Structure 1
Amino acid sequence: MLKKFDENRQDLKPYGLTCELWQPKIMERPDRHNEIEINYLPEGSLSYLIHDQKFKIKKGRMIVFWALFPHQIVDFSNDAPYHVITIPFSTLLSWNLPKRFLDMLFRGELKATTYKPSNPVLANQIFKRWANELNRDTEVLKEICSLEIEAYLKRFAYRTMNATSSIEKVEPLPINLVEKIAVYIAKNFNSPIKVIDVAKAVELHPDYANVIFKKAFGYTISDYLLEQRVLYAKRKLSITQDSITSIAYESGFNSISRFNATFRKFSDMTPRDFRKEFST
């Protein structure tokens, strides 16, 4: 059964260790989950807005990225299904991947890279087998799949670190006004910017910028800006031991009280409680 993105899906809800066939669709909002995501396209192409840039993933290519970065399909070439693997953050860290590779992944550098398997037919067969076996209620098969996916990702990391000629950089696509707003916020959210600064950057009146942005993303610019700051703070809380105060200011908030109130608004918990639950 093909999966499609659920627009009502809870933000940051994990998928778990999965390998499934997905039906491409335009996403009305970004998805976010604290897992590594691998997409492989046997056919067709996808255009993603990942964090702050737009990329086209072509037929026969694979992309690996940290799915805590907001990612959103904004275009696709046909209805051909594509493979999606999700790997829990804790599982990934237990695999002892090269530190340099993980650093690139968590900085978002791999969102701009795709890899083309040398044997697309074999790659497609492997992904299909994982999808079939992970959906069975058999723990032994699930453990075997986990080991195979670990080895597959280690090969990907090895090629990334030692054979950069096999990694293809994807050129950014032109983006429209709404996407320019999202990109500007993604690049500047931890600076003391306001709605008027965002509108000025894309040469629009603030009211009009808000109207077209909310129509496209379902958020006001102000709420989206605050959410990006909270999202960044969550990443820092989960993977570093930096003080909550320093994280608050680094995320773009000008006071601890404002940070705590906004964090609770978007997370239904305090920063301290979030760190206790999700820190790795």
Structure 2
Amino acid sequence: MSERVYYEPRPDGVERLPTVLSMFHAAPPVMRTAHWHAQVEVNYIVRGWAHYKMSGHDIRLNAGELALFWGGLPHQLDDAADDVVYAGGHLPLVHFFRLRLPQDVQSRLMQGATLITRATDASDTLNFARWNEYARSGDPMKAGIAVDELLLRIERIRFDEYTLLPGPADAINAGIGLDHHSSPIVVRICDFIADNFREDIDSTDIASAADIHPKYAMSVFKKSTGMTLNDYVNLMRLSYAQALLMQEEANVLQVAMDSGFGSLSAFNKSFRKIAGMSPTDFRRDVRCRPSAPVTVQSPATGRIN
């Protein structure tokens, strides 16, 4: 039996690069402590089992099960089978907001619930391996195909049976104790921001919703997540704006307003800071993304799988 590998998260528990898709297909290392990342995590267990300590509940995922959860609350893979292999990725919010899932499902995921489905088959094992290969290929077209196919796979969940395990907000309402990684204050803050980031909110509004002083809200949130309240709200807004800009009828000014920015100048400044380009350039790049080439065969049309 091979020696168990452990993963040490950053001292503040936070994973960086929130706007970058990262995919994996490997034997996961057991985590010594919880970590946190501002992306939605997709996990598919190829072989064996893995146990997670989440905010508000524990879960054991077995081979053939697919899970989806918001990584913005601390979570820890604290045990796993010796032969476990899992696949999946950290999905930036821009792609999460593109998903055509039932509205209540998206809302509950953002509030810490975990979605689990057992409606999987052998094609998932093959597809997750290919998506991981494409995402790591360095080829923008392949990476784009990996994202699009992964999103379509997630959207298919709505047509099959799935379970939503309660998040921390549900646990608080039910009087269930949370583990020491999850402060109920941070849960209330994340809950309020998820519901209101498109509105004109500031630290005072957020602190009021959590029933604490603004300075304390900023301190607790920074210590727990590694991000300031302002950075977190902006990340939510920018990710939502990117999803809107991918739509054909997108108007930059309207997107700025719909995403919670009070002015076009503030939108442009924040967008450049996170995305590294202007909203207009982002929209142009998305619309100019080359489509996969189609080879005409006789008598059928071939396509890339």
Q: TM-score range by the shorter chain?
A: 0.5 to 0.7
Identity within the alignment, %: 17
For the residues of structure 2 that align with 1:269 and 1:85, how far apart are their CA atoms?
21
Q: Map residues 121-132 of structure 1 onto 2, 5 A cutoff.
A: 121-132=122-133
Whether the 8 Å CA contact 1:14–1:88 is kept in 2: the answer is no
Cα root mean square deviation, aligned: 3.6
The offset of 1:8, in angstroms, is 2.7
Superposed CA offset, 1:78-111 (max 9, x none)? 23221122210122113444323312322333x1
For the residues of structure 1 that align with 2:136 and 2:104, how far apart are their CA atoms?
32
Whether the 8 Å CA contact 2:111–2:194 is kept in 1: the answer is no
Whether the 8 Å CA contact 1:38–1:63 is kept in 2: the answer is yes
* Alignment-mate amino acid for residue 68 of structure 1: G
Q: What TM-score do you get using the length of structure 2 for normalisation?
A: 0.62
Q: Confirm or deny that 1:233 pairs with 2:189.
A: yes
Aligned length: 228
Q: What TM-score do you get using the length of structure 1 for normalisation?
A: 0.67
1:123/1:14 Cα in 2 relative to 1: closer, same or farther (>3 Å)? same
Whether the 8 Å CA contact 1:37–1:86 is kept in 2: the answer is yes
Please name the residue that 2:216 is paired with: 258
* Alignment-mate amino acid for residue 139 of structure 2: T
For the residues of structure 2 that align with 1:184 and 1:137, how far apart are their CA atoms?
38
The offset of 1:122, in angstroms, is 1.7
The offset of 1:118, in angstroms, is 4.1
Please name the residue that 2:140 is paired with: 139
Please name the residue that 1:207 is paired with: none
Superposed CA offset, 1:35-91 (max 9, x none)? 111111121111111111111111211111111122111221223221122210122
The offset of 1:115, in angstroms, is 1.2
Consecutive unaligned residues of structure 2, counting only runs of 5 or more, are 241-305
Superposed CA offset, 1:148-168 (max 9, x none)? 111111101x22xxx4xx325
Please name the residue that 2:93 is paired with: 89
Question: Any idea what SS the aligned residue of 1:152 has?
Answer: helix
1:143/1:76 Cα in 2 relative to 1: closer, same or farther (>3 Å)? same
For the residues of structure 2 that align with 1:55 and 1:82, how far apart are their CA atoms?
15
Please name the residue that 2:274 is paired with: none
Q: Confirm or deny that 1:18 pairs with 2:13.
A: no
The offset of 1:243, in angstroms, is 4.7
Consecutive unaligned residues of structure 1, counting only runs of 5 or more, are 173-182, 192-200, 203-212, 214-220
